[in-house]
Amino acid sequence: MKILFAYQETDLTDNLFVVSLIKSLRDKKLQIDSSVDLFWSSDIKYDIIHIQWPEELFKWGSVSKEDIFKLSTRINHLKNSGIKLVYTRHNSQPHYKDKNLIEIYKIIENSVDSIIHLGYFSKNESLKSTQYSKRIYHTIIPHHIYLGYYDTNIDQSEARTKLGIPNNSLVILAFGKFRNFREKVMVLLSYIFFKQSNKFLLAPRLFTYSNTRFGKSLINKLINIFVKIFENKFHAKVMINSEIVSQDLLPYYLTASDLVFIQRYKILNSGNIPLALLFRRVVIGPNIGNVGELLINSGNPTFDPTSISSINRALLNGVSLFKQNKGENNFAYAIENLSIDHITDLHIFLYNKIITGKTLESCQ
């Protein structure tokens, strides 16, 4: 079986989802190529071409009307060549609205032979939509954990010392880049009104900035002033740049935390949940998309992102679960349901079904 992942492998990626999946597939003796350029130019007769994020096909750059036509033409060529197309639906739509990119999403979701969903919410959402053809095979393969990729044995005291966090704190980690002002307000307000004496907010990418007509330096200065006031008054540590947390530092952030806060106002999936489960952390998150589904199935608190009181109830529930050693249960759930070996086997099973045309029954 020869498969092309339409994904550009680099040493700088901050997302191990595809990298770890490809490695596991190769370990099981599948022949895997990984390249965006090959998606556009290769005449190799692959059995499967597996698309992940639509943005990846354009190397996360801008998309023009010409690109829309180019993609349609290329997909028709691949399908006419007998190549089967698989798409993992990480997002229901782009994070940032762009009409051309939205059209790219539609083309892919209407053209592939199979769509992998990370949860039932995504699958049901797709099946209810009239835009999806009945010939497309929908299946569910959950987000795997990255066991073996991170040091999960770091001492919490060591992690907190490294990050400058008092050891006696109840640390709430809001990880990943905040995408909009609404997410910032949601986290800040819920944290401020959360009644816990030893609370500590760890939000490494809370504030990011971009060039404006006022200039980057002024924006940065104003943010710095606010951050210092906020940190001193409410016991928090935030960063004010756009840099991602390195793979070497990431385990220290997870280990230093007690609760992981999924800070999305609108979301389909979150890789931070499997990450938190791997590090034996309690997770709270919005009861929307596949996120709410995974949190409920694993016994972690959910909230309504439009309600600060709902978030605070989830935080209190999270503290209670933390004291009951819920993190160990989360790890056990992840090992049983989200191991990379299990998830890889589900991918291989799906690939075989698509190639042989036996896609009338679920692969799970």
> How do residues 322-333 score in pLDDT, each as one tens digit?
999 999 999 999
Helix axes 181-193, 308-323, angle to 10 degrees: 60
Q: Judging by beta carbons within 10 Å of its beta carbon (0-12, 13-18, 19+), is residue 129 exposed, middle or buried?
A: exposed
Query: Does residue 243 register a pLDDT over 70?
Result: no
Share of the chain above pLDDT 90, in %: 74
Using alpha carbons, select from 201, 229, 207, 231 the residue that is nearest to residue 219.
207
* Phi, then psi, of 115 in degrees rounded to 5: -115, 125
Residue 361 vs residue 22, higher pLDDT:
22
Cα–Cα distance list, 229 to 67, 143, 172, 223 (Å): 46, 38, 19, 10
pLDDT at 227: 77
Cα–Cα distance list, 74 to 112, 191, 316 (Å): 12, 48, 52
pLDDT tens for each residue of 288-297: 999 999 999 9
Residues 6+ apart with CB under 8 A from 207: 178, 184, 223, 227, 238, 239, 240
Residue 211 vs residue 43, higher pLDDT:
43
Query: Does residue 259 register a pLDDT over 60?
Result: yes
Within a 13 Å sphere around the CA of 100, how many CA atoms are in the beta-carbon half?
14
What rounded mean pLDDT belongs to the chain? 90
* Residue 79 tokens, joined: 């399908």
CA 167 remoteness from chain centre: 29
* Residue 317 tokens, joined: 């529930």
pLDDT at 13: 63
Q: Which of 127-131, 333-337, 356-360 has the lowest mean pLDDT?
A: 127-131
Spatial separation of the C-alpha atoms in residues 271 and 176, rounded to whole Å: 10
- pLDDT class for 363, splitting at 50, 70, 90? very low
pLDDT tens for each residue of 126-169: 888 745 566 899 999 999 999 999 999 999 999 999 999 999 99
Amino acid in the structure at residue 44? I
Share of the chain above pLDDT 70, in %: 91
Spatial separation of the C-alpha atoms in residues 315 and 338, rounded to whole Å: 25
Residue 180 vs residue 253, higher pLDDT:
253
pLDDT at 205: 84
Amino acid in the structure at residue 35? S
Residues, the chain = 364
Average pLDDT over residues 72-87: 96
Query: Does residue 240 register a pLDDT over 90?
Result: no
Spatial separation of the C-alpha atoms in residues 172 and 198, rounded to whole Å: 11
pTM above 0.95, yes or no: no
